[in-house]
Structure 1
Amino acid sequence: MAGPGPGTPRLLRAGMGAAAVGLLLIYNSVDTSQDTDPTAAPAAPPAAVSTATLATPAAPAAPAAPAAPALKRAVPTRLRIPQIAVDAPFTELTLDATGQLNAPPPEDKNLVGWYRDGVTPGERGSAVVAGHVDTTKGPAVFLLLSLLVPGSLVEVGRADGTVAVFAVDAVETYAKNAFPDQKVYGKTPDAQLRLITCGGAYDKKKRDYLDNVVVFAHLQSSRRS
């Protein structure tokens, strides 16, 4: 973005079932930032990512501890990431007429989106959550996403009264024109989470960020809320 950027991200294509949700997912954004500088703040966090943009990256590090058993399907309701002060409600994301994923409403800076026909956070597979890094109203919910590190905890409150706790395995930055679909969205034997936003340099001509920041995490535990 501006995370599912400050604008309409282009993530999923029509005709994809829940099991194949990620094979063609790239997060692009239509500019909703200021014409002069897409918020001075967001430029710094993406630059602070310790991993370089890779065209053919290696697989993320395996979880340090065995993953927790996958949970039953339940709609996510709230995302909390204490390390970067994220406490945001979810909205469901759908596909538009062209098969692209609609972005969360840019009017709300503190909102994350989940593709409603995909894996729910805590289910077996890769659950996809997207958020803006900035909007015309300023820094947004995933502004500091790139500052997470392995071991950081991500909590997802769910409609069934459970909280799925994920541990970050890796934080990567990819050029949008070299996005590793299979690595990010491929099937997994356990419950995993992908947090996605825009990052890297801002191209004023394209009115879009050039990269995607992707956080890889696995289900560490769950509890009743």
Structure 2
Amino acid sequence: MTRLRLAVFDVDGTLVDSQHNIVSAMTSAWGNLNLGIPRPDQVRRIIGLSLVEACSVLLPWAPPSVHRAVAESYKEAFRAMRLLPDSMEPLFPGVKEALDMLEEEGWLLGLATGKSRRGVESLLDAHDLHGRFITIQTADDNPSKPDPTMLKRAAADCGLDFSDIVMIGDTAYDMAMASAARTGAVGVSWGYHSLDELNKAGAQVVLDTFDNLTEVLDAVTGER
């Protein structure tokens, strides 16, 4: 009997390069509420967190009501941005080929992201990825990373043990979530956190490309 295994991907910074849109939307949100201008490097640091949690990290001095107001303003800015012709969030090189290869090897695919469900649906539409992911965990339905709930629900959706699941992501939040859930943890180097941060948070391997992803996931899950 073939062993079922699940590869769960982060989205922003792992599958798609979304930093320009995220920084632009957060800058608009701050401007709408007269909060000044956030530094782009600060905004990149919080990519991967759920939106209100991200706002609380960016504005630790502000009360929760301001965090929620910034989050709502960010959503409005992002919705408006999606209507622009140049707002596409491009896939990183090798993403579709890696997904194809994993499916050919019998892997199930999932997503665990700080994006909203609406944002994920927009992404799947834009890149013709509908039907690829058997479990999709978003910020709408789960606590923010690094809480392990997303991976626990992904495991329940697929009826798998945590030892049969690998989280692939670009931030320390992804690696810490995987460690908390006791799944495999594979980092990618092209995202928004450093190699050192990924390793300290529990990455077992950090990839520079998706070229050897299937071999790495096999090794992490003890298949070979």
Per the TM superposition, whether the score is higher than 0.5 is no
- The TM-score normalised by the length of structure 2 is 0.28
TM-score, normalisation: structure 1: 0.28
Which structure features the higher share of strand residues?
1
Higher relative contact order (CA 8 A, sep 6+): 1
